[in-house]
Amino acid sequence: MAKTVNYTPEQVKEMLSAYDPKADQKTRDSVVLALAERFGRHIRSIRAKLVAEKVYVKAAKVSNVTDKPAMKKDAMAEKLAETMGIFLNTESVAKMNKQDIDNIQTEVERLQKEISDRDKVAEFAGFDYISEATNMAEFAEAEGIVNKVFEKDIENAESENKPVADETTE
């Protein structure tokens, strides 16, 4: 009995060149769909061939609790310790529920961003870092000046109907 060939070598080559396992999930899914339409096959058939060729990347599961990629509590605790840059008893943290660990992680990341933003303001105002401001009143004054500059830019842009430059892309 002869073996039935589902895909020609040219089709396999085209699949492998089109499918990028390093792309994001949405892109990978759209490539699989496009290949299925192009070859007149089912998505499952394309996916199976990519699996056989050892290039298919399975979709990451999303947690029902955090709406983020699923992680074990141990891994979440280790990530939190790494983000905070301190030693944490990860076994103890892992005993918390996932939502609490995720809430702490989110708050730590928000505070780190806020500190980073304040450092940028301090640098803009002539300080190397916020710690070089002689007191918080001096820093607050510098921050107020920066905010006024941004507000003036927004007002000017609105009056001229021009889009405002996003300060994070500078």
Q: How confident is the model at residue 80 (pLDDT cuts 50, 70, 90)?
A: confident
Higher pLDDT, 68 or 145: 68
* Angstrom distance (rounded) from CA 17 to CA 38: 14
What does pLDDT average to over the chain? 77
Higher pLDDT, 152 or 56: 56
**For the chain, how big is the Rg over CA atoms in Å?**
26
Q: Which one-letter amino acid corresponds to residue 113?
A: K
3-state SS, 104-125, equals HHHHHHHHHHHHHHHHHHHHHC
The two tokens of residue 40 are 């007149």
* Angstrom distance (rounded) from CA 129 to CA 78: 29
Alpha-helix residue ranges (DSSP H) falling in the chain = 9-18, 25-39, 43-52, 73-84, 90-93, 98-124, 136-159
The full set of domain ranges for the chain reads: 9-52, 73-169
Q: How confident is the model at residue 71 (pLDDT cuts 50, 70, 90)?
A: confident
Q: What is the mean predicted confidence (pLDDT) over 36-58?
A: 92
Report which of 79, 85, 87 is spatially closest to residue 106, judged by C-alpha positions: 79
* Angstrom distance (rounded) from CA 9 to CA 43: 19
List pLDDT tens digits, range 82-133: 888 878 788 888 888 888 888 888 888 888 888 777 777 666 666 655 554 4
Q: Give, to the nearest 10 degrees, the angle between helix 136-159 and helix 98-124.
A: 90
**Residue 75 confidence (pLDDT) above 60:** yes
Q: How far is residue 111 from each of residues 125, 168, 169, measured CA to CA in Å?
A: 21, 17, 20
Higher pLDDT, 144 or 102: 102
**Residue 41 confidence (pLDDT) above 80:** yes
Question: Is the whole-model pTM more than 0.85?
Answer: no
What pLDDT does 122 receive? 67
**Residue 138 confidence (pLDDT) above 60:** no
Distance of CA 128 to the CA centre of its chain: 29
